[in-house]
Structure 1
């Protein structure tokens, strides 16, 4: 019943109708407007930094006499001090505190350093025809990497590094190196059912090549990938993916993605349809529905698990810098068995009260439905701080 309700809601969104993909509510459809990557995520370019300061962030800190242009001029890495044209550094930090079962006698809480990144981006000419993007992360060893590392102490590693080429063909870009795979809506929550559970988590970048064509109403990208350099060879997923999105009318886009890949032990297939729709200024609605297949390549385990996931996310602007965020998610790993179903609902605030600062406060309810046993709901209170320089 819950699955049917979510699919119906997602279908209604489809028929009615970066920065975060939610920013379509501000009229920004293409991620390349604000990011060095045309698929979104990673470091912001100069325009993205200024936009974040002048349209997304609250201006309570600034006097009424200061205009938006002056605020934008303060958004550089060193504020108003200009940097050489050939380099753009950046620093990102994200920390998460959460409490399970808040208010109960068995409540537990924990704090995670989710993201500690340093970006160094280099341009080989002032027109940025050739750009080198690099990101180093400080974290404990990701579980998908070499299992020989036994200690859990944080360390620095190369998260992404790629060369971006702006070709002589208008709106055609080529990327070569280690980067995020092309697939679906790149939401910020890497624990979402459309991210890490299907192999697209925070540290699931892969070496490969991306070709992207992004005219006014279209965004089409293809990706051939060969696995993450830090992974053990037997678990590296090698394959290809494609993704496309089309603007039906202003602030309303629909799209689809497909990905096929395999390692020495498992073969993956991913298919998804998605939509984004801007409502009033700053507010948006977006959804993604996907099918998954995981087929073991080991002799004793030849059965393929066919699953699905779905997400529906709304972003409502309350006033500049302050937003209401709500997400409904559903996932089932195997549609042909009595495997458990997961349903998660999150609601809370996503706020940009100060320059270079994001604060999230979310209440999350998770349900696990199994045919044989009842599992109590899990409630979680989350608070997240994101700083970027």
Structure 2
């Protein structure tokens, strides 16, 4: 039985994934996410240019780099085995691994299959369209198209848009990741969970306008609700947005704001629920190998007939590139949930190895105190992931 589970875990990992956002690309002077991603705020499907940068700037080098070296055709879709028309871009993304969690005397071991998605982008004249469809064995219920306890078909994003001639403006309507704060691969960070702005399942339907020029990027979204969530009384309406200014080649600073209202909150089940998050974020590379990522957010909740409850969350992440393709990361995070007067603290130590442009392995050790109540034990988690992007 154990051998069978181990075999299953290995198989899941070998088809498991990356097509995410790396805010530490600021070290290479990339303040704008729209350069490498079809989503103007980063993440999801890479553009052909973004695929090329995965080889030139992300993947480990196994020989002497030649000046003027060209990108290999294997960076294209399915390793270049299929030639796509200029108006179509496709990507296969898989992510999986294993998680060991210990809290007090309890230990939990489980395999993970997190992402198995086909992603697409279409560009015909000013018209843009993007979407994804995939499968998850467990979780991601807010992104599900089917309604089973397990083994659901999901669509994390699907939208239609219009771009202007110089590609500085993009107007989109559909299901999209909320524009807010740092868009990071660590979707379980408290800053992503408590603001409900992760890219794993918390996308919303709405209308968004993005503007990108050199040194400035912004996006604002009118949130109309998650139409894949039922019934309607749990759907949030409101807005989310950010503005980021990059005064220097390797430094950018931004502010974010989010406000939503639901007849009943899907998490707490409280009625007429008003939820807010407002904060600042920054990406700074004082020297090329070293990048600091910072986010600090105020959290505000108010149910019908109740007082306004406040809290906060924040993170500081340091990414050090030992050499191209090898990263050491340290992350500290803090959280005080609205209305809960216990502070949660967490720390991550991570090693990230970009084996190939399409293949990445990552190991995380995460120690945290949940902060729900003082007597709770610390939680230690060991997470191993293998990601593949084709």
Same fold (TM over 0.5): yes
Going from structure 1 to structure 2, the CA distance change for 1:170 and 1:199 (only over 3 Å counts) comes to closer
Q: Distance in 2 between matches of 1:118 and 1:68?
A: 33
How far off is 1:101 after superposition?
3.3
Going from structure 1 to structure 2, the CA distance change for 1:216 and 1:107 (only over 3 Å counts) comes to same
Going from structure 1 to structure 2, the CA distance change for 1:142 and 1:64 (only over 3 Å counts) comes to closer
Q: Distance in 1 between matches of 2:120 and 2:166?
A: 27
How far off is 1:287 after superposition?
0.3
- Specify the SS of the correspondent of 2:292: strand
- Specify the SS of the correspondent of 2:55: helix
How far off is 1:286 after superposition?
1.0
Structure 2, unaligned stretches of length 5 or more?
1-19, 265-272
Q: Distance in 2 between matches of 1:342 and 1:96?
A: 26
RMSD of aligned Cα (Å): 2.5
The reply to whether residue 91 of structure 1 matches residue 92 of structure 2 is yes
Matches within 5 A, 1:82-161: 82-101=83-102, 106-125=106-125, 129-139=126-136, 140=138, 142-144=140-142, 149=147, 151-161=148-158
How far off is 1:170 after superposition?
5.8
- Specify the SS of the correspondent of 2:197: coil
Q: Is the 8 A contact 2:58 2:357 kept in 1?
A: no
Q: Is the 8 A contact 2:179 2:219 kept in 1?
A: yes
Q: Is the 8 A contact 1:340 1:368 kept in 2?
A: no
How far off is 1:70 after superposition?
3.7
Q: How many residues align?
A: 359
Going from structure 1 to structure 2, the CA distance change for 1:369 and 1:205 (only over 3 Å counts) comes to closer
Q: Distance in 1 between matches of 2:44 and 2:347?
A: 26
Q: Is the 8 A contact 2:38 2:121 kept in 1?
A: no
How far off is 1:78 after superposition?
3.4
Match of 2:35 in 1: 33
Match of 1:311 in 2: 315
Output one character per residue of 1:306-357: Cα deviation in whole Å (capped at 9) or x when no partner.
11001001110001100001110000113xx553221110012011012301
- Specify the SS of the correspondent of 2:186: coil
Q: Is the 8 A contact 1:26 1:282 kept in 2?
A: no
Q: Distance in 1 between matches of 2:167 and 2:363?
A: 42
Output one character per residue of 1:203-236: Cα deviation in whole Å (capped at 9) or x when no partner.
1111111111211111122111101111121111
Matches within 5 A, 1:200-239: 200-201=197-198, 202-232=200-230, 233-239=232-238
Question: TM-score if structure 2 supplies the norm length?
Answer: 0.85
Match of 1:79 in 2: 79
